[in-house]
Structure formats: C-alpha cells, structure tokens
Amino acid sequence: MARILITSAIPYINGIKHLGNLIGSQLPADLYARYQRGRGNEVMFLCATDEHGTPAELAAAKAGKPVAEYCAEMHAVQSDIARRFGLSFDHFGRSSSPQNHKLTQHFAGKLAENGLIREVSEKQVYSKADGRFLPDRYIEGTCPNCGYEKARGDQCENCTKQLDPTDLINPRSAISGSTDLEVRETKHLYLRQSEMKDQLDQWIDSKTDWPVLTTSIAKKWLHDGDGLQDRGITRDLDWGIPVRKGEDDWPGMEGKVFYVWFDAPIEYIACAGEWAEANGKSDADWERWWRTDKGADDVRYVQFMGKDNVPFHTLSFPATILGSGEPWKMVDHLKSFNYLNYDGGQFSTSQGRGVFMDQALDILPADYWRWWLLSHAPESSDAEFTWENFQASVNKDLADVLGNFVSRITKFCRSKFGEAVPEGGNWGEREEALIAELTTRIREYERQMEAMEVRKSAATLRAIWVAGNEYLQNAAPWTVFKTDPEQAAAQVRLGLNLIRLYAVLSAPFIPESAARMMVAMGSDDWSWPGDATQALGALPAGHAFTVPEVLFAKITDEQREEWQGRFAGQRT
C-alpha cells in the first residue's frame, strides 16, 4: 500500500470561487485522491483557505465586519461548498490557524539562522488617498516588460514576469484608483532566494516527469532577465502572522506581518497539524506525512495548481523548505493547469462573469459539473467553457451513454426476471470479447490516472461506458429472450454487473452518481477490478437490486439559453 500526500492550491478567502478556480486545482486533486483511495492506498488530501493579506482586510471592510469574523464566516461558506461539490479533503484548514502562526515563525527563525534572510531598508509605495502602504498586488500600472496596462506590483499576469511596484509605469492604487502616490522608506525582511538558485535549479532538473508547463515556468523565473531575485517576505499590515524568530521577538520588525505568499504554502504543512488536533491525533500522526526523519521518506507528495501559482511552488516555497535545513518532505510531482475561459471571454471574479461554485450547484447536481470540467480540463492549453458544449457533453456522455445503459438493463431485468440478478445461461464469444476489451481499457485507465492525465482518463472511462452500450445493443437480450430466456438471463446478469463495475471506475469523476448506482445494485463492494472476469461476477444470481431514478436529466435548449443569459454579467 502506497502513501500519497496531496495538496491543492489553497483558495483565497475573499468570496466564492468560480468554476475556473475549481478545475485549476481542487477538482483534479480530488479526482486523484479518490482514485488512489479506490486503489487501496493511504491518502492524506489537504487544503485550506488563504486568509491573510490586504484582500481579506478590504473584503471584510466592505462587508462591515472585523476581518477575523469575516474570515471565519467565509471559511465555513467555502468548506460547505467544497463538501457539496464532493471534494474529499481529509482536512480543510485555515492559514490563520495557530498551527500556521507557529510554523511560519519557526521557518523564519531557521532561515535567519542559516543566513538566508536579510533586512532591507526600502522605499515602498504609500497612497495618500487610501492612507496606507499599498501591498504589491494593490498597485497597478503598465508592465515595463510587455506593456500590459493592468500589471500588478508583484507580477504581470500577461507575461508572468516578477515585478516590484516601483517597476510599474504610471502606477495607481488598485483600491481607489488614485495616482497620488509617494514612496516612503520602511524596513522589511527578504528571503535570499538568489543564494539558492543553483540548488533549486538542480532540484527542478531532477523532476523529469513534471509537465512541461510546470518546468518551463520555473525555468523562466530562474534564468530570464536578471534571474531569481531575493523576495520580500514581510508587509506593513495589521492582519497576518506577526514577524517573529520562532518564539523570539524580531527587533525592528514590530508591527509587521509575514507576506501572505510566505505563510500560505506553509499552511499545507500546518494543515496536517490542524487535522491531527481535530481528530485527536498526536504530532507523530501528522509528522509521518511531512518529516522524512519521522516516516515521510516513503510518501509520494503531489501538488495541484493553476499555472499562475507555479513560480511560488517551484521556487519560493521550496526555497523556504530547503533553506530551513530541516528534513521536510519536498514535492515529488507538481501538476499544473492552464486557464479555463468562459463563453468567449474570461471568468471574472471582480465582474461576476461566469458560473460560480454556489450558483452551479443551485441549477444542477455536482456530478454534471465535475464530469464536464474534468473531461475538458485545461492541461496542454487553455480551455473554454461554452453552454453549448456543456449541454452536449452532459446529454451525450452522462444521459445517453451511462444513464441510458443503467436504465435499460435494470428496467428490462425487472420486467422479465424481477428485481434480482437472473440465473441461467453461459457467456459466449461476444461476452469474452467484451471482457477482453474492458480489461485492456481498465489497464489504460489506470495508467492515465496514475500519470494524472485527466482528459485522457475521462475519454477512456467514457469508452468503457460505450463498450457496455454497444454490447447491450448488439446482444439485444430483449430479442434473445423470446427464443432463449436463459441466454438473455446471462446477458442481463453481465449487464447488471457492469453497473457495479462502472460505479467503481466512475467514482473518482462522479462520486454521487456512482454511489447511487452502487445502492441500486444493493452492493457495498467498492473493490477495484483486478480481473474483469471476476469483477463481472461480483453480483451473483439471486442478488437483489432496485431500478434507480433517472441518473442524469438532459439539459433542454430552453434551460441552456436561460442560463447563458443569466451568467453573462454581474452576480446577483
């Protein structure tokens, strides 16, 4: 039994996320976690809300609530939506937790001990109109590298170049739009990433199985322009983790907090400590996942994230871990995704454009969305959500292929043999051919899932569903029954067992529907199919089943047109 640690990029606390955010990290991570559990492996799947920084302060102020209260409420909202989407986290933590405070301060102390932090007196942008220093991402202007007019002070979203606010041309406050900015002197801590460039370069080169998207972004940050730069890890803010060296004060850093991009990845580790506390576990129980001197040396650690998060997870966070000099578990595989665009444009949280997770669940069950998003995951390039494509995929894949198969075989059996698996008859060449095809495709599906090839896995799973439909259509038990009821019984018996097999294989993609299929088959045997012949005999003759309600309702043209209009603009 393998041990697999899985983290997905932690969503920011300020608001409910759209479907593009979901497919960029959490949903494919859940797919992988469910698959690995289904194979009998021990999985620790962690995620959390990212709660520090200016966006949380501003969102709380807009809501008229203290920031701690706002974050607590939004964590509960995001946790509930994640649960309703079937995201099977072992723990959904909070970056504001006591565990993350302690661990972040611990790492800072270790980095300081190892000479990897320096104090810098620097000039920082202050907005007179806002009455505050502006964090990097709250300064907008023109990128000096590519000319993009809405570049942020920490990074240009267009060319991904790492920036400092003073690099921007024609800077303005992203809060008020004011250009009445001035540069004031302040003192901050910098992580000396440049000292670790060669070590990071060698580490990235060792990851030969990483997606090209991941390594190309990391290498670009390492080598383009002036190469990897030291990075400020503190900010002049009220809300955040106070700057300390472990348990000791840090002279000159009073009133400052750690930068959210320093403490947020550390929450992956702290989240395991939160899990242990919530479940009455000991430190040893979480350390066996994260400390190679405490048992984590045999753990495979996989991260999932959108491409905009790659630089911080291939460079800054590894620099923190390596720089500590302590035996922490490093990521083994980083699966990154491109962007999902929306119906001819882009998803936009600020403009409320696109479908957000809560809205999606208001109009259709989670499995409809899970299937479309995963089967169209933006792996090799950006992908686009269109309502026409969504309707076609749901209707053809889920309703016509899988749902229709389940309905036809169960209803036919009930009408001719009753609600129990029929006995009699034997399998012939057609059945053996189906078993051979299923065996080949199941092994292919396993290889693709292990490799985290999400779209290919979905296509193979659909082909497995199609194989059952084609068998049923060609075998035509409703016709065979007229002349050879026993042979029809054998065909129906195979078909009912296919439903259980489909439930097991489909559970990572559509867990709620898979559970309904399993309940209808009167089975709780979720064992992974080793041999297709054995798997198709799991439900013996006489085993009771029920005919389920319609698994998937088709999306009508009227529904599609109404939804397309509803989600074209602002959230209501």
156 is in an annotated binding site: yes
Q: 28-51 burial, b if ≥16 CB within 10 A, otherwise e?
A: bbbbbbbbbbbeeeebbbbbbbbb
HSE toward the beta carbon, residue 250, CA cutoff 13 A: 27
Task: Provide the token pair at 417.
Answer: 């043999």
CA 133 – CA 125 distance, rounded (Å): 6
How distant is the alpha carbon of residue 518 from its chain centre? 26
DSSP letter for 319, please: H
CA 409 – CA 421 distance, rounded (Å): 11
CA 93 – CA 259 distance, rounded (Å): 19
* 42-49/91-94 β-pairing: parallel
Is residue 32 within 8 Å of 71, Cβ to Cβ?
no
Specify burial of residue 488 (Cβ count, 10 A radius: 0-12, 13-18, 19+).
buried
146 is in an annotated binding site: yes
143 is in an annotated binding site: yes
Return the residue matching tokens 């979901």: 22
Number of CB atoms found within 10 A of residue 147's CB: 12
CA 289 – CA 268 distance, rounded (Å): 11
> Reduced to 3 states, what is the DSSP secondary structure of residue 173?
strand
**Could you write out the three-class secondary structure of 508-533?**
CCCHHHHHHHHHHCCCCCCCCCCCHH
Nearest to 106 by CA among 274, 270, 256, 259: 270
Inter-CA distances, 123 with 147, 171, 220, 265, Å:
24, 15, 27, 27
Q: 514-524 burial, b if ≥16 CB within 10 A, otherwise e?
A: bebbbebbebe
Is residue 269 within 8 Å of 328, Cβ to Cβ?
yes
Q: Which residues are annotated as a binding site?
A: 143, 146, 156, 159, 349
Q: Which residues are annotated as a binding site for Zn(2+)?
A: 143, 146, 156, 159
Q: Which residues are annotated as a binding site for ATP?
A: 349
